[in-house]
């Protein structure tokens, strides 16, 4: 951040009065520009003992497999975000189950939330996906999973064995 | 948003190529300025059948009671955020238990996450708090609770009765 998005002035880096950490602050219009973590929402679409995975058509991790997930948007809930991402990446409809994994990625400024889900109908590659495929529980391509958070979620999904064992929290450090 | 925070040019509102919704985009440096929901993290500090609440010294809801909660910061986990907010608002230390409530507030662009917690030691009003107090489970000031999300979390906390029943999700609509 270099310029104030409200008035266009050059911003300063300082601790605002009454605050306890440095922020970008506009010396002209006095706006404090807070920067906060982003939410990634996804799900594990399951049907008859198989899981739907997507082979990424974009960087990072082009060519690796992922569960459907992406940045939550304004004006949607976390469940709606997980449904939308599954639609966009895998052209698939799901019925969301329960939230079962929350993975912090502090160095990226992200929180990744994963739901269980039931796949309804078919699937196909969306714009950001090379191909989609169903993998049986015993045949997950563990060495080709794109992200550590998705890897953690898949492991816990299998450990839970269909039950709601609460939310598994985890932090990914560099 | 009116000016590009990277180069100071006036931004446009348009759907970027390959995207499916309007964003603030800089016509000069081509930066897309995404806007996404914020995370609020909090906990319900409990000790011997009583819950620690804080009377708010700031707007919104000045003078109403709340569980310790606030915006998650960069470079912390959701648990660390809940611990920090409890320290700032109630001068209290807690041992975090499990995540038990996730409340979407789409019209505010927020997701509120609540943990169970054990209060360790004393408590006192922080800078944003008029006073702190312990309330027995049967004596919660329901009509003076500041926010609907905290109200939901308190209800579910009592319903769970100390067990981990998974995460209760809820959406607050206007």
Query: A interface mutation test: which of B37, B88, B113 has the most A CBs within 10 A?
Result: B37
Mean of per-residue pLDDT scores for chain B: 97
3-state SS, B55-69, equals EECCCCCCCCEECCE
Closest to A169 (Cβ–Cβ): which among B8, B36, B99?
B99
Query: Which structure tokens are listed for B31?
Result: 């930066």
∠ at Cα A135 (A131, A136), nearest 5°? 170
Burial call A127-145: b when 16+ CB within 10 Å, e when fewer: ebbeebebeeeeebeeeeb
- pLDDT attached to residue B18: 87
Query: Which structure tokens are listed for A165?
Result: 């064992």
Q: What is the mean pLDDT of residues B144-148?
A: 98
**Distance in Å, alpha carbon of B143 to nearest chain A alpha carbon:** 27
Sorted by sequence, the CB contacts under 8 Å of residue B3 that are 6+ apart come out as A3, A4, A5, A6, A7, A8, B9, B10, B11
Report in angstroms the alpha-carbon separations of B64 from A134, B37, B42, B50, B130.
51, 25, 16, 18, 10
Query: Which structure tokens are listed for A96?
Result: 């969301």
Q: What is the mean pLDDT of residues B124-132?
A: 97
How far, in Å, CA of A166 to CA of B88, rounded?
28
**Distance in Å, alpha carbon of B56 to nearest chain A alpha carbon:** 16
Instruction: Say if the Cβ atoms of B4 and A3 lie within 8 Å.
Output: yes
ipTM of the complex model = 0.96
Length of chain B: 174
Rg (CA), chain B: 19
Closest to B36 (Cβ–Cβ): which among A7, A71, A164?
A71
**Distance in Å, alpha carbon of B109 to nearest chain A alpha carbon:** 6
How far, in Å, CA of B117 to CA of B110, rounded?
22
Q: What share of chain A is helix, strand, coil (3-state, %, to 5)?
A: 20, 40, 40
Instruction: Say if the Cβ atoms of B166 and A169 lie within 8 Å.
Output: no
Report in angstroms the alpha-carbon separations of A82 from A79, A115, B154, B170.
5, 8, 26, 15
CB B93, CB B126: distance < 8 Å: no
Q: What is the mean pLDDT of residues A127-155?
A: 98
Instruction: Look up tokens 């605050």; give the residue.
Output: A19
Mean of per-residue pLDDT scores for chain A: 97
- pLDDT attached to residue B22: 96
Instruction: Say if the Cβ atoms of B99 and A98 lie within 8 Å.
Output: no
pLDDT digits (tens, 9 = 90+) for A48-68: 999 999 999 999 999 999 999
Per the confidence metrics, is the pTM higher than 0.90? yes
Share of chain A above pLDDT 90, in %: 98
What band does A149 get if pLDDT is binned at 50, 70 and 90? very high
pLDDT digits (tens, 9 = 90+) for B44-64: 999 999 999 999 999 999 999
Q: Residue A37 pLDDT more than 90?
A: yes
Closest to A36 (Cβ–Cβ): which among B1, B73, B106?
B73
- Search chain B and give the residue with CA nearest A126: B18
- Search chain B and give the residue with CA nearest A84: B20
Instruction: Say if the Cβ atoms of A169 and B78 lie within 8 Å.
Output: yes
**Distance in Å, alpha carbon of B106 to nearest chain A alpha carbon:** 5
Share of chain B above pLDDT 70, in %: 100
Neighbour count for residue A43 (Cβ, 10 Å): 31
Under DSSP, is residue B18 helix (H, G, I), strand (E, B) or coil?
Answer: coil
């Amino acid at each position: 951040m270099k310029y104030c998005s409200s008035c266009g002035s050059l911003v300063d880096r300082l601790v605002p009065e009454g605050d306890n950490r440095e922020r970008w602050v506009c010396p002209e219009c006095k706006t404090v520009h807070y920067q906060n973590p982003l939410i990634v929402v996804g799900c594990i679409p399951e049907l008859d003992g198989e899981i739907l995975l997507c082979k990424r058509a974009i960087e990072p991790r082009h060519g690796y497999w992922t569960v459907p997930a992406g940045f939550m948007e304004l004006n949607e809930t976390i469940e709606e975000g997980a449904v939308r991402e599954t639609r966009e990446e895998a052209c698939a409809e799901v019925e969301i189950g329960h939230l079962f994994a929350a993975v912090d990625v502090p160095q990226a400024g992200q929180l990744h939330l994963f739901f269980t889900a039931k796949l309804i109908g078919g699937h196909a590659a969306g714009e950001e996906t090379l191909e989609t495929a169903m993998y049986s529980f015993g045949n997950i391509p563990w060495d080709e999973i794109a992200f550590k958070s998705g890897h953690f979620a898949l492991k816990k999904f299998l450990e839970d064995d269909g039950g709601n064992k609460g939310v598994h929290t985890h932090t990914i450090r560099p």
